[in-house]
Structure 1
């Protein structure tokens, strides 16, 4: 329907509002879907992941469809892989007082810890471990035992 076929300015404004609201609703649904489906990629820093979630939330807020703090936390935790389960579990069970900002800080810290721990993978065992292993304290399963 063209504006010139409408009877008065009120009808024109109502028509514009209707079209605008339909576009906003579609964009809101798209952004919420993106938020729900956002996953932290293996090569992505935690800062980038959290910033991406925050950016989507800001877009939603700008179109008058804000995301609650609790939902934002839930979406963020849902996008994390199994490496973060040691942090996700307790945060899910005890969310009292948790904000998106404090969650971001905790996740960045956990990411740094994971990177630090991964730096030790493939290193030479400590002397204590080697001594324990040679003394028979740590037994590797033999191929014939079926383990």
Structure 2
């Protein structure tokens, strides 16, 4: 399952629903497998946070992963908004340059 255009909470909700359905048929998924499954479906914008999560010695619980990933998504949105604001500010004309009507 890929996140695609879904928000992280929507993506994680869909993953959790699938995991719960699989558990009903007596095939529970371990925290390690669930974490890897979630990280693999996030996409390239989450590589920065996925790498340290993958290398942890102790598995993260789903709730811990949820909190980290939602926080990272919020951080990415803040960066995007800041970058857009900087572009607008940089491109805003501050005054006219050159001479008009000089003879």
1:79 aligns with 2:41: yes
The 1:83–1:90 alpha-carbon spacing in structure 2 relative to 1, beyond 3 Å, is same
For these two proteins, the number of residue pairs brought into alignment is 89
Please provide the CA RMSD for this pair. Answer: 1.9
- Please name the residue that 2:20 is paired with: 58
The residue number in structure 1 matching 2:2 is 39
In structure 1, what is the equivalent of residue 68 of structure 2?
A: 106
TM-score (norm. length: structure 1): 0.56
Q: Which runs of 5+ in 1 are unaligned?
A: 1-37, 126-147
CA deviation after TM superposition for structure 1 residue 96, in Å: 1.2
CA contact 2:31–2:59 (8 Å) conserved in 1: no
